[in-house]
Structure 1
Amino acid sequence: MIMVISLYQLYFNQSSDNQVNVGFVESENLIRDLTIYPSTIPENQLLRIHEAEELYRSSFEDGTFFGVTNPEKLVKLVKHAWQWDKNAMPYYYKLVFWADSYDEKGKEYDIVMMSFNEFMQKYRNQLVDNAGNPLSEPDIFKSIKIRGYLWDKFADLKYPYFAYNKSFSYAPRRFDEQGMTRPSPDEQLEKSIEYLNYAIEGGYHCYEALTARILFQQGRQYKDQKYEQLNKLTEYRRALKSDDLKQAIDYAQLMAEHSSIIGILRMTEAYFYGLGREQDPVKAYAWSLLSDYAKQKITEIGNNLAWHAYQLPPVWEYNKQIQQRLEQMLTPTGKQAALDYLEILKTKIVTWDYNEWRDQIDDF
């Protein structure tokens, strides 16, 4: 598909192959090729998501000062982006966005970095493919207006980086004057779920966000901005189908098996209330005891595996409430059965560092 954008486009002005002035300027009557092409790089040489991010972080500074910190790494990033490596492209676009923000004041602090324009002029001849052929910047990068088009199309094509970021545009964090989360329409939640599923297919471990979108009208695990009021499983979206509820609990179990505190709580709730699982007080009690065990592990390791330490008090409190009710319900035999099942659950924990697993991205 070829799309035409003609009037008042913002674009890069390239004066020659060896001199490139990077920056967005206005022009008229330009015909751009906005086709999204397959990469010309062999599949086994394409950057993984985390590799592309690391190349960007280690080659360009866009914080207090702006400039190139490692030209060799930046050459690699640009070469991949210009050859349609989808994981490199958003970081190249970010480079272009910051190109005119080079801060000369950095030199006053002995932070000497070259600007992106200087980099392009000095290293333009190194931007070649594996056969040594000069590369050209794809048209799709040459307009700041293309960002929305680029991001949306890549998200719809199920590229995980873009799908992950797109998912949050449908379930933004919106709070009222009292700091309570505003509910999201079902249609927006379903679109967010769609893109989160694309991201998971591409290696993201974003089950925490996904279960919140599936289960709750706010699209979040908490009702408020300060993380003091937890959404309870009994408050699930009434439009939710039973199969979707079960799937959400399946995801919660996966989180729990990687030591997610909120995942463990959802499993306790699921068996206690019979939501997404058959009602089973013995298993509910075992999961609640696993939460206590996880709390102990968090203390031993120093909170480095906590879901988020400041968010956990409402989880502990609610877990204790359910646990006390179960203790009144169960016979000594039932409690012993729960203790036996607890030992089985402990063996199913893949890692006690949930944060590390949550932030991992599998190869794509």
Structure 2
Amino acid sequence: MSYSTKATKSILKKLIILVIVFCVIIGIVHYYCYNSTNLDDNPIQSENITMDYTIYPSTIPENELLRIDEAKKLYQYAFDDQVFYGVVDPDSLVKLIKHAWQWDKNAMPYYYDLLHWKDLYDERGKEEGMMSFTEFMRKYRDQLVDNAGNPLVEPKVFRSIQMRGYLWDKFADLKYPKFAFKKGWGIGFCWYDEKGIVRPCPDDKLEESIKYLNYALEGGYHCYEDLIARMLFQQGDHYKDEHYKKINKLTEYRKSLKSEDLKLSIDYAQLMAEHSSIIGILRVTEAYLYGLGREHDIVKAYAWSLLSDYAKQKIEEQGNNLAWHAYQLPPVWEYNKEIQTRLEKILNPAQQQAAQDYLMELQTKIIDWNYNRWRDQIDDFHPKP
């Protein structure tokens, strides 16, 4: 072997050794840099790590805990999550994180959402000159303290992707209303088949949904529309199809429904009707027409059907197009017209006049002409720690 060949091999060996040493050094530097970074900068971890899933009470005084709407507004003020994906209001974000890190249950899901979208916030925020979440944490980390000024530590559970599947369920079981509403809404609807028709749900699944929606109701939610759909119909929905072309009729109520629950569902429908719900008005109309959940009374049934027309006219006069989902209502108007036509053929003039008199009484009981606004409201209540 020539001298030049030996020299070349020697040089190659040295280069390989240098490359290996360089890679090792880079790996060590990366390891220490990564692990010395504050937990705030670590991504949500997907691996199975030892995790404490204890649900701790909040250390924040009860009278300072965030209401459901309050937490939602803080999140909306803190971020532009529609266009620029950056921190908009650092003070709001500081408050939200302080509450989330101290186990304020209404703040926790919003902080978890933030971590899930953090990379998107960072990249889009930089592109548009917005403050990224990473930059925010560098500048405002020292403000994340409790009422006594002690530095807060992010609960480790936020870094597990199992949080939604486990803690969210446990929060719902403990009757925290925000979590109960989401769980009840999610499990009580069995989606659509290949033809776009709503699949029937098993009774046990509907009953589970009803349980959680009742928890939400106790916590201030106005989720009556979803609740009575689960109570009344095997599909868990007021409509038979995904395009809202066919509405379920009260006569198609699920056979396992108890008579007391049928009456209760109509009580809830009447409460919805008093806030100008067209679906609520229809259900009460049907109740009197068929004697389901109400006494059989065709005069009252006719009056309620006329109230539906009055509500539609009143809402349109006010230009309030957001008072109900207009695209869902053509089958309601069609069915209501069928009922009216049927009743007009059997009611005598005196009965029709009695219905008109009762209609005037019903008109005075409408509390709100924006049903969607009322439906989306959450009554104020004292949050649980």
Give the TM-score, by structure 1 length: 0.91
Matches within 5 A, 1:152-231: 152-172=169-189, 174-231=191-248
Give the stretch that moved more between structures: 179-188 or 260-269. Answer: 179-188
Distance change in 2, residues 1:209/1:26 (3 Å)? closer
1:104 is aligned, of 107, 123, 130, to: 123
Q: What's 2:89 paired with? A: 70
Q: Is the CA contact 2:263–2:292 (under 8 Å) kept in the aligned structure 1?
A: yes
Report the Cα offset of residue 145 of structure 1: 1.7
Say whether residues 1:294 and 2:311 are aligned partners. Answer: yes
Distance 1:196 1:103, change over 3 A: same
Letter in structure 2 aligned against 1:265: L
**Distance change in 2, residues 1:26/1:240 (3 Å):** closer
Q: CA deviation at 1:336?
A: 1.5
What is the match of residue 17 of structure 2? none
Tell whether 2:297 aligns with 1:280. yes
Is residue 322 from structure 1 mapped to residue 339 from structure 2 by the alignment? yes
Give 1 or 2: higher helix fraction: 2
Query: Residue 22 of structure 1 contacts residue 117 of structure 1 at CA under 8 Å; is this kept in 2?
Result: no
Q: Aligned pairs, how many?
A: 348
1:107 Cα deviation from its structure 2 partner:
4.5
- Show the counterpart of 2:44: 24
Q: Name the aligned partner's letter for residue 80 of structure 1.
A: H
Structure 2 length as normaliser, TM-score?
A: 0.86
Matched AA of 2:254: R
**Aligned position for 1:10:** none
Cα shift readout 1:106-153 (whole Å, capped 9, x = no counterpart): 554xx2222222212221110111111111112221211222111100
Instruction: Say which structure is richer in strand.
Output: 1
Report the AA paired with residue 90 of structure 1: P
What root-mean-square deviation, in Å, do the aligned CA atoms of Structure 1 and Structure 2 show?
1.8
Match in the other structure for 1:46? 65
2:220 is paired with a residue of what secondary structure? coil
Deviation at 1:43, TM superposition (A): 1.7
Match of 2:109 in 1: 90
Matched to 1:97, the amino acid is H
CA distance 1:329–1:177, shift in 2 (3 Å): same
* SS of equivalent residue, structure 1 residue 169: helix
Q: Higher relative contact order by CA 8 Å / sep ≥ 6: 1 or 2?
A: 2
Structure 2, gaps ≥5 residues long = 1-33
Q: Which residue, out of 271, 287, 292, partners 2:288?
A: 271
Cα gap change, 1:26/1:14 in structure 2, threshold over 3 Å: closer, same or farther?
A: farther
Query: Which amino acid is 2:41 matched to?
Result: N
User: For the Cα contact (< 8 Å) 1:14–1:21, is it kept in 2?
Assistant: no
Distance 2:226 2:239 in 1: 11
Provide the secondary structure at the position in 2 that maps to 1:150: helix
Q: In structure 1, what residue type is equivalent to 2:193?
A: D
Cα deviation for residue 176 of structure 1 reads 1.8
CA deviation after TM superposition for structure 1 residue 14, in Å: 7.0
Match of 1:259 in 2: 276
Can you give the 5+ residue segments of structure 1 that lack an aligned partner in the other structure?
A: 1-12
Alignment of 1:306-321 (within 5 A): 306-321=323-338
Give 1 or 2 for the bigger CA radius of gyration: 2
CA distance in 1, matches of 2:265, 2:44: 44
Q: Would you say 1:79 and 2:98 are equivalent positions?
A: yes
1:124 and 2:141 equivalent?
Answer: yes
Q: Distance in 1 between matches of 2:193 and 2:118?
A: 37
Deviation (angstroms), 1:304: 2.5
3-state SS of the aligned residue for 2:86?
A: strand
TM-aligned CA deviation for residue 156 of structure 1:
0.4
* One-letter amino acid of the counterpart of residue 15, structure 1: S
Q: Which residue of 1 aligns with 2:364?
A: 347
- For residues 26 and 226 of structure 1, what CA distance do their matches in structure 2 show? 37
Matched, 1:15 2:36: yes
- State the Cα distance separating 1:303 from its structure 2 match: 4.1
Q: Which amino acid aligns with 2:339?
A: I
List per-residue Cα deviations over 1:70-125 (Å, max 9, x = no partner). Answer: 111100000011111110010011111112223535554xx222222221222111
In 1, Cα distance between equivalents of 2:169 and 2:125: 36
- Check conservation: 2:125, 2:131, Cα contact below 8 A: no
Taking the aligned partners of 1:318 and 1:149, their CA distance within structure 2 comes to 43
Any idea what the Cα deviations from partners look like across 1:314-355, whole Å, max 9, x if unmatched?
Answer: 111111111111112222221111111111111111111101
Name whichever of 325-334 and 125-134 sits farther off: 325-334
Equivalent in the alignment of 2:265: 248
State yes or no: 1:135 paired with 2:156: no
CA deviation after TM superposition for structure 1 residue 265, in Å? 0.5
What amino acid maps onto 1:156 in structure 2? D
Bigger drift between 194-203 and 136-145 goes to 136-145
